[in-house]
Amino acid sequence: MDMEQNNLQPQEYQPPQEYQQPQQPQQPGPQPYQPYQQPPQPMKFCKHCGGRIPADAVVCTLCGRQVEELAGSKQAANMPIVINNNNNNNNNNNNNVVAGPGVVYMPQGRARSKWVAVLLCFFVGWLGAHKFYEGKIGMGVLYLFTMGLFGFGILIDFITLIFKPDPYYV
């Protein structure tokens, strides 16, 4: 009897709580401890971390790893890659005006000293020296056999070279 009384005493001590507790489950409204308040969007589980992520998520919002194949990337991979080819083949047409079998092909963009070319043109231009110096072997040979295009070629080349930057590029 004493044990029962000892057990009854804490129960008699707590009646305010027992009076309040039956009411809380009956309250329909708040539901504070519902862990699964499912939002309207469907959910799925990450195959990497098991986290609960939106069904349309491609990358896990929890661990950051990819969980779905990118549909857009497949489409992009299947799309033809358009390469702009407009800038090809326009650069190699200016060099060897007179192309012979013995012409040494000079790659374009070689730097030449302006003043070396000016001096060569002035003193030995009638031999086509400045043309040879520029790598234009065919023109050099032509100058050599025509005395620098009868002097006019030398004159024009000399004036042209004077106004060129130093170095200039052929």
Give the binding site for Zn ion (CB under 5 A). Answer: 46, 48-49, 51, 60, 62-63
Q: Scanning the structure block, which residue is given the tokens 């057990």?
A: 7
Residue among 67 and 129 whose Cβ is closer to Zn ion? 67
Residue among 57 and 116 whose Cβ is closer to Zn ion? 57
Residue among 54 and 151 whose Cβ is closer to Zn ion? 54
Residue among 49 and 58 whose Cβ is closer to Zn ion? 49
In whole angstroms, what is the distance from residue 130 CA to residue 117 CA?
5
Q: Please, what is the minimum distance in Å from the beta carbon of residue 69 to Zn ion?
A: 16
Q: Please, what is the minimum distance in Å from the beta carbon of residue 48 to Zn ion?
A: 4
Return the bridge partners of 111, or none.
Answer: 169
Residue among 49 and 127 whose Cβ is closer to Zn ion? 49
In whole angstroms, what is the distance from residue 77 CA to residue 9 CA?
77
Q: Please, what is the minimum distance in Å from the beta carbon of residue 67 to Zn ion?
A: 7
Are 126 and 147 within 8 A, CB to CB?
A: yes
In whole angstroms, what is the distance from residue 36 CA to residue 50 CA?
16
Q: Please, what is the minimum distance in Å from the beta carbon of residue 62 to Zn ion?
A: 5
Q: Please, what is the minimum distance in Å from the beta carbon of residue 11 to Zn ion?
A: 48
Are 149 and 126 within 8 A, CB to CB?
A: no
Handedness of CA 16, 22, 27, 32 (dihedral sign): positive
